[in-house]
Structure 1
């Protein structure tokens, strides 16, 4: 398999010592050495990966120019040559030093990403609007009442509509910021694997409430949700209700995706996170 990938690479990349480090439905991640001896990564996209990550995702990396995220070094067809971000994830840091420590690191990374917009760089093309991102949730909210079901999706869709009608500081978004997409290496903490959205940057903090995926003790913990929301509100100078609203909305969006896949157990887990965030939201006057 590595030989087959190597055959598709431009010879001018001059990479060597390929090592498969991850494989998903969207890509194969191969660690290589550049001619300089530095480590790099080749992301070999599958057809699904090409649909989801080419365009907006690569333009997002180019827009940031390495500020807070990995650099896109080169691209050829479905192969991306990327800076090696490191092997240590924010999830590793959470497991060793606790959730609060991981949250503080995320805040620093998030603020660095905001600096690109503050530098007044023109935004890239081919980004997905947040309203398009929430299409699955809106569809679910439209069909449930017809079946006589007043679900969490209906309430969430109303909340999302209000949030999207009142977006602030609209800019390019990563779209999938969570503990395993923030890595530590020679340049410090960097983000990887952007989806390439555009909208209110508060949405990019929403996934932190929803993660880590295997830690329901954290995801559904109301005191953790309240503390994280307060931290984000102060650090990003945004209304805490907006932050919690996007957190709840994202959890319901994830549930709608799981529903489409008929993965009802995961949908229920996602709705559990949304319900916990809603309880915290209800306590705020």
Structure 2
């Protein structure tokens, strides 16, 4: 099967030894060898992936390897990508603890932030951050019409305020978390960007929500406060803004799960938002 998959890759890439890494609704990830024997990744986008993830290629091109993997080539729905390594930031957390993983994230975030300082023009067709929140706004509007002042309504109001007061707008990864930061020959690198445009504090929001299987961390008020303090000092941003983006991102994720009918995951996501809300109420 993998040999048949490899036959669909552009011949000029001269890739070999395909190994299936993952397959999702948006893409098939295949590890290959380049002509010189070096590892690389071929990401074969599905029609859904073509709609949702092509902006990520422009994000990679904008950074040009600074803090993230390089886009080596593209042909249609096939992307040839630099191999980032096999060790994730989640592995680092499991071995060295949450604080150590958060520090690596801070260093990566600051490195990615340097690209804007070069004056390199940003891609013009990335997804606006407000568009990203459409699912939350839709869910909140439905609750309002039913006369319900739900967590979604409250979060949508906060999201609207944050989106009306964005600072330092720039290209965003859009899905920056422990399993999208990998360690390899070039050190820590970011993979799998979505390609958004907006306030960079949204890219910090996912850290409150992750790791997905660690509810002890995700629902910890002390962890949320400590992480927000770390981000505030490192990124020179108001702690309430950072926590606010963390809260509304969790509710956005809950709205997606709700739309998919996955009520258990929606409830877990709301639990993250409620923990962050309790911290916000003490500040």
Counterparts of 2:238 and 2:140, CA distance in 1: 26
Counterparts of 2:183 and 2:53, CA distance in 1: 22
**Pairs within 5 Å for 1:135-174:** 135-174=134-173
C-alpha displacement at 1:132, in angstroms? 0.3
C-alpha displacement at 1:17, in angstroms? 1.0
- Which residue of structure 1 lines up, in the alignment, with residue 9 of structure 2? 9
**Pairs within 5 Å for 1:1-285:** 1-54=1-54, 56-284=55-283
C-alpha displacement at 1:5, in angstroms? 2.2
Unpaired runs of 5+ residues, structure 2, are: none
Counterparts of 2:14 and 2:59, CA distance in 1: 25
Counterparts of 2:15 and 2:124, CA distance in 1: 30
Is contact 1:206-1:243 (8 Å) kept?
yes
Unpaired runs of 5+ residues, structure 1, are: none
Is contact 2:6-2:16 (8 Å) kept?
no
1:204-235 deviation line (CA, Å, top 9, x unaligned) = 00000000001100000000000000000000
**Secondary structure of 1:144 counterpart:** helix
1:79-121 deviation line (CA, Å, top 9, x unaligned) = 1000000000000000111000000000000001000001110
Counterparts of 1:180 and 1:7, CA distance in 2: 29
C-alpha displacement at 1:3, in angstroms? 2.5
Between 1:30-39 and 1:57-66, the stretch displaced more is: 30-39
1:121-161 deviation line (CA, Å, top 9, x unaligned) = 00013200010000010011111021121101111111011
1:155-209 deviation line (CA, Å, top 9, x unaligned) = 1111011101110000000000000000000000001000000000000000000
Aligned residues: 283
Counterparts of 1:4 and 1:201, CA distance in 2: 41
4+ residue runs over 2 A deviation: none
Q: How big is the alpha-carbon RMSD for the aligned residues of Structure 1 and Structure 2?
A: 0.8
Is contact 1:172-1:197 (8 Å) kept?
yes
Counterparts of 2:195 and 2:2, CA distance in 1: 28
Between 1:217-226 and 1:6-15, the stretch displaced more is: 6-15
TM-score for the superposition, normalised by structure 2: 0.99
Counterparts of 1:22 and 1:144, CA distance in 2: 37
C-alpha displacement at 1:252, in angstroms? 0.3
Counterparts of 2:114 and 2:13, CA distance in 1: 31
Counterparts of 1:139 and 1:24, CA distance in 2: 26
Counterparts of 2:128 and 2:23, CA distance in 1: 28
Is contact 2:247-2:273 (8 Å) kept?
yes
C-alpha displacement at 1:25, in angstroms? 1.6
